[in-house]
Structure 1
Amino acid sequence: MSCFQASPRHSWIYPTVILCLFGFFSTMRPSEPFLMPYLSGPDKNLTSAELTKEVFPVWTYSYLVLLLPVFILTDYIRYKPVIILQGLSFITTWLLLLFGQGVRTMQVVEFFYGMVTATEVAYYAYIYSVVSPEHYQKASGCCRSATLVAYTVASVLAQLLVSLASLSYFYLNVISLASVSMAFLFSLFLPMPQKSMFFHAKPSKEAPPKPPGGDVVSEEPQKDLKPVCQELYTISGNPGIGQQSSPKPENVVLRVFVQWLRDLKECYSSKRLFYWSLWWAFSTAGFNQVLNYIQVLWDYKAPSQSSTIYNGAVEAVATFGGAVAAFAVGYVKVNWDLLGELALAVFSVVNAGALFLMHYTTNIWVCYAGYLIFKTSYMLLITIAVFQIAVNLSVERYALVFGINTFIALVIQTIVTVIVVDQGGLGLPISIQFLVYGSYFAVIAGIFLMRSTSIIYSAECQKKVLRSATSQTPDGPHPEEPRNVIMGTKL
């Protein structure tokens, strides 16, 4: 390890490699595409109603309860202990899946899986505390690629083992346990960060760098965000521009919370960032809800005990298709200021249509196709949304906005779960649930369709006013020349 520390240029390689290995093995879980058949089969013998109404909702509730405390604790204790905690939670989850029995035990499984997802923030934030800014893009790209490759490999491997080797679902969980145990071992070798984004930030006279990839989607400056998000970040206690007279609380925790409130107020005061965040929160809530119950729907359309199922292959294709779509976004030249919300509306219509298709069809292959369309469309849009939100935000502010958006999404998902799924609410059957989810995305599409229509109409009105003003100016250019003036003006 000392050899990496001796050369500053390469000091980012060691933690990046270890983190990538952790991400790969923690995501390489071939049992996940076949979780529903495993739990409803002879190994656990749980009914679809028990899983839908009593077991799976626990993940949503525990994730919501744990997210904010874990988000704060992660930065305060500097990431590594939380990554280790995630590894232990993985191991506990799969030990209980293998050897536990009954509804109550499976609810405990869902609680620990909620801990796993709540601690994911440490995995993605860790890299910013141990590598220099010039290596952010490479390091974070490697980490995200590791998890993507691992999920695809796990899904393909699971399908091959089930279809060709007729391997029991129990042994898929054994493989998953071995994989997450390897991830835990790698987490122990991560170097301990000396700083963090908020509680242990180092004073700096320069604004922190933007998140990697922030300029990939749109090369045009985001005027609405500049005054909000390009100020000097002052979490270390050094006042920024215009803040010299601001009170500085002595308590570091209080100072961090005060700064968070200021940053959130400033960032969300941007209408553009607010509406992109709104779509992010509502769509992520719907997406997570669909992912949580899609295997129940598949089992309803084609019971796993009497049908040949291809859940692993479908997940692999959906993940690959979503990754390709997300990658392609970086090469699309679009005026997202003008057409961004129209894209959100159009693809939300696609999502709604895919969910309605999954509800009404009786053919499992059509249901699979609807899921492929839905997941690919969401991954495409969430990539655009992330870039649009991050493009002029510092790393710290992006992490804060990401955390709050995720928390709001979980609140929305919890409300939907309580009303639609939970036995204390309507307790709707799985087929009707997907009709509700399709209607949910249709409402999102309607809201953003109205917003985008208003934005495009306002832009056209501004163009007409500008043309009229140009043609009526006595000393201005000749009436046949206003096109050049308009083309030179950013609308």
Structure 2
Amino acid sequence: MMSHLYPTVLLCAYGFFSNLRPLEPFLTAFLLGPDKNLTEKEVVNEIYPIWTYSYLVLLFPVFLATDYLCYKPVLVLQAASLVVTYAMLWKAQGKLAMQFLEFFFGATLFGSAAGCLIGQLLLSVAKAELLHLVFITLASAAVAFVAPWFLPMPKRSLFFHKSLGVASDEQRRSSKSSLEKLEDAEVKAPLNTKSSSVSRSSEAADQNVGLVRVLKILFEDFVQCYKCRPLLAWSLWWALATCGYFQIINYAQPLWETVRPSQDYEIYNGYVELLSTLLGALAALLVGCLPVSWSVWGELLLCVLSLLMAVCVFVMNMLKNIWVCYSCYVLFRTTYMLLITVATYQIAASLSVQRYALVFGVNTFVALLLQSLLTLVVVDSAGLGLDIFPQFIVYGVYFAVIAGIFFLAWSYKLASRRRSEQEVQMNGAAPPEADRPPDTPI
């Protein structure tokens, strides 16, 4: 037990300090303020889009590198990216430097609730300057950079570093998926080295599974996973909604800054991010208590709640009141966190553990691909380069379209079920057990 405690504490320290970023709720205000003196168009249309593109480009290579390098070096690289990001934010000047900064930021995503609260208290109570938040965030990133160096190196990976004997043994078990075969071969191998058919010396002589073999395994499992229609439906919502969610949280601050400029009024972005994070976490915890059969009503609820998210976006854009914007943002994030928790459960319930990384990685990649296209067309100065208010009209329509897609999916599912029931009644037979949706809630 003590052997697991040490890396667990280090990982918790890494996670806490890498997400302790009190500047993040006030990043737009800092970039537009006297420290950087950038224009709104430069920040929104030329700087912020870079992190979306960098995240998309780096996602798949980092996914493979994480497994091949056994995780630890990638954690160090991510922490180093944080340090570079906030060091540049402190010292670098100009639009080009901020674009380069956003490329490094594409290794990271969200600030934690603690960082939001600390940042808001420092601004509101201690009357600190925004530049002071940069120093605190940089110090936190430096602590996060130190922690992973002391982690033990994992002895195995999920895809790479498998012996050829194991790889060939997989191929002979065609009734199972590639990753399940791979795990079975390792689990069934005797632990006693004297009775094992493969000695340590022969294992050392075996070559590692190559990149081509890993890509083949991934593709085979990709095809097999997405043949499952419920998994495909939940993954579709995951990708579409996550794309829109990223856009909203990325560009909410410029909207708030336009409605209530930070140089003229006190802003409360930290409290808003804290409240939305806590309520989102509470919704994720309580979702299991909802008496809902998601297999039956899932598409309809995805439709209704996606429509609610669309309404939140439209109201933020149309009323142009900061308190309405804050409230709608909290409701928007809470709704998303509830639904993404349900989607995660529904997807994971259809998979073996070995496929989690693949499916959730593919879903995230599709979301980022859609987000990159949306950013290029709507936000980037190379595309339409829309101002912030027209952007939010587009995002509201986007979530309304998601609601429409799942309304059509639910209507089709309902019509198919009724047709099946009529055919059963005509044939005088009970419906097959496999066609009956489970009645147990999540």
Question: Aligned Cα RMSD in Å?
Answer: 2.8
Aligned to 1:260: 218
Deviation at 1:230, TM superposition (A): 7.6
The CA deviation at 1:239 is 11
**1:112-152, CA deviations, whole angstroms, 9 ceiling, x for partnerless residues?**
101345xxxxxxxxxxxxxxxxxxxxxxxxxxxxx9xx811
Deviation per residue, 1:74-126 (Å, 9 max, x gap):
11010000000011111000000011111011111101101345xxxxxxxxx
Match of 1:75 in 2: 67
Q: Given that residues 161 and 208 in structure 2 are in contact (C-alpha distance below 8 angstroms), is that contact kept between their aligned partners in structure 1?
A: no
Letter in 2 for 1:166: K
Q: Which letter does structure 1 place at the counterpart of 2:17?
A: F
Note the 1:42-441 alignment, pairs <5 A: 42-117=34-109, 151-200=112-161, 233-235=180-182, 252-441=210-399
Distance 1:336 1:168, change over 3 A: same
After superposition, the Cα gap between the structure-2 partners of 1:238 and 1:487, relative to the gap in structure 1 and judged at 3 Å, is: closer
- Relative distance call for 1:469 and 1:255 in structure 2 (3 A) is same
2-side partners of 1:466 and 1:237: how far apart? 41
Looking at structure 2, the residues matched to 307 and 49 of structure 1 have their Cα atoms a distance apart, in angstroms, of 21
Kept in 2: contact 1:352–1:441 (CA 8 A): yes
Q: 1:435-469 CA distances to partner (integer Å, 9 max, x unpaired)?
A: 00000010010000110122133334444555666
Contact conserved, 1:230 with 1:393, CA < 8 A, in 2?
Answer: no
Once the two structures are TM-superposed, the CA of residue 169 in structure 1 deviates from its matched residue by: 0.5
Aligned to 1:447: 405
For 1:338-396, what per-residue CA distance to the aligned partner results, in whole angstroms no more than 9, with x for missing partners?
11111111110011000001110121000111111111111111111111111131222
Q: In the TM superposition, what whole-angstrom CA distance separates every residue of 1:143-182 from its partner, at most 9, and x where no partner exists?
A: xxxx9xx811111111111111111010011111111111
Percent identity over the alignment?
Answer: 46
Paired amino acid for 2:181: T
What amino acid is aligned across from residue 402 of structure 1 in structure 2?
Answer: F
Shift of 1:252: 2.5
Give, in angstroms, the shift of residue 398 of structure 1: 1.2
CA contact (8 A) 1:229 1:393 kept: no
Match of 1:457 in 2: 415
Is residue 39 from structure 1 mapped to residue 35 from structure 2 by the alignment?
Answer: no
Mark the CA change 1:230 to 1:464 in structure 2 (over 3 Å): closer, same or farther.
farther
Aligned residues of 1:338 and 1:455 also touching (Cα < 8 A): no
User: Structure 1 residues 403, 489: closer, same or farther in 2, change over 3 A?
Assistant: closer
For residue 151 of structure 2, give the secondary structure of its aligned residue in structure 1: coil
- Measure, in 2, the Cα distance between the counterparts of 1:19 and 1:343: 36
Conserved in 2, the CA contact under 8 Å of 1:228 and 1:270?
no
Distance 2:297 2:177 in 1: 24
> One-letter code of the match for 1:280?
W
Measured in 2, the distance between the counterparts of 1:199 and 1:334 equals 40
Please give the alpha-carbon distance, in whole angstroms, between the structure 2 residues aligned to 1:445 and 1:19. Answer: 38
Unaligned runs of 5+ in 2: 188-206, 438-442
- The number of residue pairs the alignment matches comes to 411
Distance 1:48-1:489 versus aligned 2 partners, 3 A rule: closer
2:151 and 2:209 map into 1 onto residues whose CA distance is: 30
Q: Which runs of no fewer than 5 residues in structure 1 stay unpaired?
A: 1-8, 118-146, 208-226, 241-248, 474-481
User: Could you tell me whether the CA contact under 8 Å between 2:75 and 2:148 is conserved in 1?
Assistant: yes
Q: Is the 8 A contact 1:235 1:256 kept in 2?
A: no
CA contact (8 A) 1:296 1:430 kept: yes
CA distance in 1, matches of 2:38, 2:148: 34
For the residues of structure 1 that align with 2:289 and 2:421, how far apart are their CA atoms?
28
Task: Check whether the contact 2:244–2:371 (CA below 8 A) recurs between aligned residues.
Answer: yes
| Contact map agreement 1:26 1:87 (CA 8 A) in 2 | yes
Report the alpha carbon displacement of residue 13 of structure 1 after superposing the two structures with TM: 2.0
| Deviations 1:254-308, CA, capped at 9 Å, x for gaps | 2111111100000111121112111111111111111111100000111111111
The answer as to whether partners of 1:89 and 1:112 remain within 8 angstroms in 2 is yes
C-alpha distance in structure 1 between counterparts of 2:377 and 2:30, whole Å: 27
Cα deviation code 1:6-53 (max 9, x no counterpart): xxx443222111101100011011010010111111111111111011
Tell me, in whole angstroms, the C-alpha distance in 2 between the residues paired with 1:420 and 1:291: 16
User: In structure 1, how many angstroms separate the alpha carbons of the residues matched to 2:318 and 2:336?
Assistant: 21
Write the deviation string for residues 411-440 of structure 1: whole angstroms up to 9, x where unpaired. Answer: 101110111011111111101100000000
Amino acid at match of 1:401: V
Partners of 1:188 and 1:376 lie apart in 2 by 35
Distance 1:389 1:486, change over 3 A: closer
Contact kept in structure 1, 2:81 and 2:105, CA below 8 Å? yes
Deviates further, 408-417 or 391-400? 391-400
Q: Relative to structure 1, is the Cα distance of residues 446 and 489 closer, same or farther in structure 2, using a 3 angstrom cutoff?
A: closer
- Give the Å deviation of 1:487: 12
Q: CA shift at 1:201, angstroms? A: 5.2
